[in-house]
Amino acid sequence: MSAPPEKIPQPTIERLSAYLQCVRLMRAQESATASSSEIARRTGINAAQLRKDLSYFGEFGTPGLGYDLRALEAHLSRIMGLDVERDVLLVGAGNLGRALSSYTGFGRRGFRIVAAFDVDEAKVGTAMGPVRVHHLRELAAVNAELGAEVGVVAVPASAAQVAVDALTAVGVRAILNFAPVTLAARPEITVRNVDLTSQMEILSYYLRST
């Protein structure tokens, strides 16, 4: 794989994630190879776009023979940086935090929640899944040892900016935000907002039109 160029467009990265999910599903369904048009059909992204997106990362696949799905999964996983384990700091030990700490999907993809934080003294010191809840003011001390670079924000909207500021101050570079609010962060920090409502809105369309 050639080194990625300086700046890959964000929609390309999102599509790579969609291709990867599609490839995993096809492999789970016992497929060994697929054409770009088959992956295109399943993801709703056209085949020319798929080939262009993959071409950012060097040549891949054999024209006319389609993709070997096992190799494509490994290739996409490397591109996405999923070939290393990531330690994750979780801020928020409420219901959502507890749900996320026991969400098995993260571990399967190499994301490991290593510590949790809250400002509620009643929660501090309790266990949450496999980790202990610390007070948010201990974040710097805890992460000096852990060195985690990924954070998850699972606090109410009103507390989310404080959580983001605290995480970025201790070296976190990538944050998954569940609070329904847009957050400010320095340009070198990546914040992704998980908007549970947008999925619900897409459902709504199908209710309307059937």
> Using CB under 8 A as the criterion, which residues of the chain lie in contact with a copy of itself when the complex forms?
4, 8-11, 13-14, 16-18, 20-21, 25, 44-45, 79-82, 86, 94-96, 98-100, 102-106, 108-109, 111, 149-150, 157, 173-176, 180, 182, 188, 190, 192, 194-210
Closest CA to 124 of 106, 111, 107, 142: 142
Least distance to a copy of itself from the beta carbon of 18, Å? 8
- The values of phi and psi at residue 163, to 5°, are -65, -45
User: What does the alpha-carbon distance between residue 93 and residue 123 come to, in Å, rounded to a whole number?
Assistant: 7
Distances (CA, A) of 187 to 168, 173, 174, 183: 11, 10, 11, 12
Positive or negative, the Cα torsion across 56, 58, 60, 63?
Answer: positive
Least distance to a copy of itself from the beta carbon of 68, Å? 21
Least distance to a copy of itself from the beta carbon of 66, Å? 22
Q: Which two tokens stand for residue 150?
A: 């990924």
| Helix or strand run (H / E) with residue 128 | strand 127-128
Least distance to a copy of itself from the beta carbon of 71, Å? 19
User: Tokens 């190499």 label which residue?
Assistant: 110
For a copy of itself, the closer CB: 62 or 204: 204
For a copy of itself, the closer CB: 2 or 209: 209
For a copy of itself, the closer CB: 10 or 62: 10
For a copy of itself, the closer CB: 12 or 35: 12
